[in-house]
Structure 1
Amino acid sequence: MKKAAVYSLLSLLACTPVQAAVLSVCLEGAPEIFNPQLTSSGTTATVLGQIYDGLVSVKKGGSEIEPALAESWTVSGDQRTYTFKLRKGVKWQSNKSFTPSRDFDADDVLFTFDRMMKPDHPYAKVNGGNFITFSTKLADALESVTKVDAQTVAFRLKQPLAPFVGIMAHQSLAITSAEYAEALAKAGAKDQFDRDPVGTGPFALQAYQTNAAVRLKPFAESWGALAGIAERTAKVDAAVLVISTDASVRLQRALAGECLISLYPNLADREIIAKNPNLEVVQTPVPSVGFITFNFKDETFKDQRVREALAHAIDMKPLVDVIYNGMGVVTGSIVPPALWGHDASVGAHPYDPAKAKALLAAAGFPNGLSTQLWAVPVSRPYMPNGRRAAEMIQANWAAIGVKAEIVTYEWGEYIKRSRAGEAKIGMFGGIYDFPDPSQIPNNYFTCDSSGKPSPSNIGAWCNAEFIGLMNSAGTISDQAERTALYKKAQAVFHREVPAVILGGADDITAVNKRVKNFIPAIFGASRLSGVTVE
């Protein structure tokens, strides 16, 4: 166990009275930023999901969309205008540099979306201005956001977008404070807006020790608490999220009682957790997909024969069996089996080293080639052990003359470098935040109308046929028609091999039996509100 992390946990716990109820959570990585708009990382969302709210959200532990900051919404007859009626009396949090003078209202919604929509907005380029989810899912679709009155906002789309309400439940589209932004602008401290958060959620940030721990305190005036909604109210005196990138360390802390909730333990450690009298294994069917993706800025990987060769050279079944500990399924589809729209007929590329060698030779590499293979450094449902997966792929490729150097970085740096297009062959993946097949394909494998890859499209694959099918599926509401289009898109993906699908599996969490009412999220990040400690 790393000393720095231990000291951080002790120092943060020391801030709490002895008899207080503290919920300690072992987190697999550090938050990269403290504004949800600037991230699509599930790890970061686990932290920020406690601090911020969106207009709508996915029901706790389910897949239904429910009201949050918007108490209701209506859709126009042409399916292009969504009008949200905002909740009254919602309080903003405060911090050492800001005390709000008003409640949440339509101005905050406009500020949040104007920042992402308008290139000349005062906050558009602050802290990089990379609005990942918005750029991928709404930038080309949203015509305008207008204030009807103080408690009503209308979103006008350029054309119907079937998953719009689901997209609005994505935690990256949480609402931020216009008044806070104005105060920081006057103080010449705009960058603080994304680093010292002010939200409306059940918890507020109390302290962050970089790469070590995050301490959250209850926000007593949150709208959930004021409305008496138990599952929207902080029920503990503090939540301490301890950053432990090593799954074995998270397990040991769970066994020792240091972390009452330990996220993403190794799937292979399921029995160890189950046999411990103080712990229970909570299994969650999380729709997710992991993959390795080829960099289309590299001439080598622009050749479809090279990509197909490397796909045929991976012995997928043993890889999935080992990495997902028998809980994964071999599939070549970008839409996972747990989600509607999945095409079961799209299988993994058959393991065929002889064919792989022939394809490489035809592409001009009769003696193989050298490249880099990046490995995800944290445990996620879509990739429980990135290093081991990379080693197995490396060994498979060596058999056909391909030398792959395994590269990895700390999680925040890994994401930053991947999105900068540095990975020759990158390992990435995603967890569905709302129940619609469009999310992961649109996030990771599409480009906007100008040909710019979405921020998470780390391989920069822009295929007009694939994008056209995805866009068409998003404009109609009939699920059967949408399914047919998604299946065609999956066939194009499989044919073109922009990436090799590695799989996904159910998630497990080690939860101390003293913890009550913790329900892991199926879509998005799990809430700590409503959770108690006995």
Structure 2
Amino acid sequence: MINKKWLGILVLLFAMLLAVSACTGDDTGSSNEESNEESGNEDGAEEVAGEKTLIFGRGADSIQLDPSKVTDGESIYVTNQIYDTLVRYEEDSTEVKPALATEWTPSEDGLTWTFKLRDDVTFHDGNDFTAEDVVFNFERWATSAEYIYYGYMFGASEEDLGGIIESVEATSDYEVTFTLSEPNAPFLQTLAMPPFGIASPKAVEEHGEDYFKNPVGTGPFVFSEWVPDDSITVTKNNDYFGDAAKVDKVIFRTIPDNGARFMELQSGSIDMMTGLNPQDIQTVDADESLQNIERPSMNISYMAMNTDKEGPLAEKAVRQAINLAIDKEKLVSLYEGIGKPAKNPLPPSLWGYNDDIEDYGYDVEKAKELLAEAGYADGFDITLNTFSNPRPYMPQPKVSAQAIQEMLKEVNINVEVIESDWDTHLSLTENGEHDMAFLGWTGDNGDPDNFLYVLLDKDNAKMGSAGNIAFYKSDEVHDLLKAAQTEMDQEKRTELYLEAQELIHEDAPWFPIAHTTPPIAANSKVVDYVPHSTGSEPFNMLDIQE
């Protein structure tokens, strides 16, 4: 007779075996609905046993799953699986191709855009997708300043919530027309950005303020479960109009520590991870069971200086001195090969990049001279806010902050490093509660406007929702950036952006740090994964092969 103790152990072991089977799949690696029909399996047991599950490890939890309200990559990674946009980017570029819209026609003056829509799409809640749903979403985004990206990209404000979009009209069941108040050169590329994923109106109305944790879209995966600070699960959308997902389930696991996350990858507990420590890249390369996949670089890490606060940072000479007092080459060496020093807000991969600008360089004596001229020969005390979780553009934020702290001691600037979790850090910087702060940006649409206007225009220096966390408010730069938005000729736009970068460099609201090629480590069984330069991508094309 088996006693209760051994019976309990046997039950536990059996449960663990089932869990491993569900996570890794069987030897065939294929058990979708179609294969079950072919085999005549009616009870579905083999489908569960052979289910393909991708477990994706990341450094922080999502903030929320209503993409129009967030700017963090951890949220967008998930929402990219759940929602579709009117148009989407090509797999390996920011060129635009059809998605929910099949074709589009701009008017000659650029003020009207007409989109023809697919007529075979349903939301995850079973409702048909029509032009009225597009109207609903754009009107929703234009009702409140809390829809941050709408404001960033379409110039909306509390005084003018619609921004440049004057109206969105359903001209038939499957045709929608946008009327703009002025031409907008990046308009089409902007519509492909994840924040403009189309949500089910019924779900938005049903869940109200809780919609952010009950997302319903039309994408290749359906939201299943969110366990805060632990995991988010999405499952394959069997009715997807596009390329059907090859895996049945994706679990986004939150594992804050880079080293712990890497150990889970090595043990097989997860299949992919971001935030690989640079020193672990060689370990991945030497392990045949793993692979290192580089994301194309379209990003910037920087230290913003709050120009809106009374005190030393309000002085241009002080900001220039700080740029001179930091040894950028030494700082970027902490990236261990995945970062290159930055001198502009734009990454060099984008058109409009001003390569003629000469970086400040490292010159402690010149920094001391500027500080003395500004009345700060004896230095001052200041804070530097950083985040605890690694980001694609900054793999070791605390170590980087401590390095700057030591360097600025040489010019009598005493820095207090304040470390916060990611959500808290975003909140305090958007509200201007910092002196200096680390942040970064991965481009959304391949247009210079997405960096310069979003991150450094006075329109986006609003307390509570600032993308411009330096709170830099240059009228000259603003005029150049607005002119570039309405100019449809790319050569003329380039000239405007070149000039804007010169002014920004002179005013020094930032200390630009690095552009990175973020590594993504994965089990070698993960195939057909193509990382996008925008920082995230739908997972319907990747597969797991045994």
TM-score by length of 1: 0.89
- Does 1:153 pair with 2:176? yes
- Does 1:89 pair with 2:114? no
2:502 & 2:364 partners in 1: Cα distance? 23
User: What amino acid is the match of 2:226?
Assistant: Y
Contact 1:443 1:454 in 2 (8 A): no
The alpha-carbon deviation at position 212 of structure 1 amounts to: 1.1
2:288 & 2:184 partners in 1: Cα distance? 49
Q: Residue 160 of structure 2 corresponds to which residue in structure 1?
A: none
Q: Residue 426 of structure 2 corresponds to which residue in structure 1?
A: 415
- Does 1:199 pair with 2:199? no
User: What amino acid is the match of 1:155?
Assistant: F
- Does 1:307 pair with 2:323? no
Q: Residue 84 of structure 2 corresponds to which residue in structure 1?
A: 53
Q: Residue 181 of structure 1 corresponds to which residue in structure 2?
A: 204
Contact 1:397 1:404 in 2 (8 A): yes
Contact 1:332 1:501 in 2 (8 A): yes
User: What amino acid is the match of 1:33?
Assistant: Q
The alpha-carbon deviation at position 517 of structure 1 amounts to: 1.1
The alpha-carbon deviation at position 209 of structure 1 amounts to: 1.1
Contact 1:375 1:427 in 2 (8 A): yes
Q: Residue 133 of structure 2 corresponds to which residue in structure 1?
A: 108
- Residues 361 and 444 (structure 1 numbering): CA distance in 2 closer, same or farther, change over 3 Å? same
- Select which of 336, 352, 360 maps to 2:363: 352
1:244-259 alignment runs, 5 A limit: 244-259=255-270
2:105 & 2:131 partners in 1: Cα distance? 16
Contact 1:107 1:178 in 2 (8 A): no
2:343 & 2:111 partners in 1: Cα distance? 34
1:173 & 1:362 partners in 2: Cα distance? 48
2:470 & 2:369 partners in 1: Cα distance? 24
Q: Residue 505 of structure 1 corresponds to which residue in structure 2?
A: 516
Could you say what the CA RMSD is over the residues aligned between the two structures, in angstroms?
2.1
2:287 & 2:445 partners in 1: Cα distance? 33
Q: Residue 276 of structure 1 corresponds to which residue in structure 2?
A: 287
The alpha-carbon deviation at position 175 of structure 1 amounts to: 0.9
- Select which of 498, 501, 516 maps to 2:527: 516
The alpha-carbon deviation at position 424 of structure 1 amounts to: 1.1
Give SS of 2:459's match.
coil
- Residues 517 and 450 (structure 1 numbering): CA distance in 2 closer, same or farther, change over 3 Å? closer
2:285 & 2:446 partners in 1: Cα distance? 30
Alignment coverage as a number of residue pairs: 498
User: What amino acid is the match of 1:45?
Assistant: I
The alpha-carbon deviation at position 202 of structure 1 amounts to: 0.8
Contact 2:58 2:255 in 1 (8 A): yes
1:120-171 deviation line (CA, Å, top 9, x unaligned): xxxx4xxxx5112110111232222111111111111111111111111111
2:461 & 2:417 partners in 1: Cα distance? 33
1:419 & 1:13 partners in 2: Cα distance? 42
Give SS of 1:408's match.
strand
Give SS of 1:468's match.
helix
The alpha-carbon deviation at position 214 of structure 1 amounts to: 0.9
Higher Cα Rg: structure 1 or 2? 2
Q: Residue 186 of structure 2 corresponds to which residue in structure 1?
A: 163
More moved, 376-385 vs 70-79: 376-385
- Residues 450 and 255 (structure 1 numbering): CA distance in 2 closer, same or farther, change over 3 Å? closer
- Does 1:20 pair with 2:81? no
Q: Residue 69 of structure 1 corresponds to which residue in structure 2?
A: 100
Q: Residue 500 of structure 2 corresponds to which residue in structure 1?
A: 489
1:496-519 deviation line (CA, Å, top 9, x unaligned): 011111011112111211112111
Contact 2:296 2:531 in 1 (8 A): no
Which residues of structure 2 form unaligned runs of 5+?
1-15, 24-47, 157-162
1:64-103 deviation line (CA, Å, top 9, x unaligned): 1111111111111111111111111211113xxxxx4x30
- Residues 241 and 10 (structure 1 numbering): CA distance in 2 closer, same or farther, change over 3 Å? farther
The alpha-carbon deviation at position 397 of structure 1 amounts to: 0.2
Give SS of 2:105's match.
strand
Q: Residue 132 of structure 1 corresponds to which residue in structure 2?
A: 148
Contact 1:80 1:157 in 2 (8 A): yes
1:237-275 deviation line (CA, Å, top 9, x unaligned): 211111122222222122111111111312232111100
- Select which of 432, 436, 440 maps to 1:429: 440
Give SS of 1:299's match.
coil
1:327 & 1:531 partners in 2: Cα distance? 24
2:20 & 2:133 partners in 1: Cα distance? 34
The alpha-carbon deviation at position 454 of structure 1 amounts to: 6.1
Give SS of 1:448's match.
helix
The alpha-carbon deviation at position 396 of structure 1 amounts to: 0.7
Which residues of structure 1 form unaligned runs of 5+?
1-8, 95-99, 119-123
User: What amino acid is the match of 1:32?
Assistant: I
Runs of 4+ aligned structure 1 residues displaced above 3 Å come to 9-18, 449-454
Give SS of 1:345's match.
coil
1:439 & 1:150 partners in 2: Cα distance? 32
Give SS of 2:339's match.
coil
1:396-407 alignment runs, 5 A limit: 396-407=407-418
2:539 & 2:119 partners in 1: Cα distance? 24
The alpha-carbon deviation at position 20 of structure 1 amounts to: 1.7
- Residues 199 and 213 (structure 1 numbering): CA distance in 2 closer, same or farther, change over 3 Å? same
More moved, 136-145 vs 451-460: 451-460
Contact 1:255 1:276 in 2 (8 A): no
Give SS of 1:211's match.
coil
1:334-358 deviation line (CA, Å, top 9, x unaligned): 1111111111122321211112122
More moved, 387-396 vs 450-459: 450-459
Give SS of 1:504's match.
strand
Give SS of 2:429's match.
helix
- Select which of 458, 461, 475 maps to 1:464: 475
The alpha-carbon deviation at position 302 of structure 1 amounts to: 1.2
The alpha-carbon deviation at position 378 of structure 1 amounts to: 2.5
- Does 1:323 pair with 2:334? yes
Contact 1:291 1:503 in 2 (8 A): yes
1:443 & 1:378 partners in 2: Cα distance? 23
1:84 & 1:287 partners in 2: Cα distance? 29
Give SS of 1:375's match.
strand
- Residues 259 and 61 (structure 1 numbering): CA distance in 2 closer, same or farther, change over 3 Å? farther
- Select which of 265, 268, 271 maps to 1:260: 271
The alpha-carbon deviation at position 449 of structure 1 amounts to: 9.4
Contact 2:461 2:468 in 1 (8 A): no
Instruction: Report sequence identity in percent.
Output: 28
Contact 2:54 2:247 in 1 (8 A): yes
- Does 1:117 pair with 2:145? no
TM-score by length of 2: 0.87
- Does 1:220 pair with 2:273? no
Give SS of 1:326's match.
coil
Give SS of 2:61's match.
coil
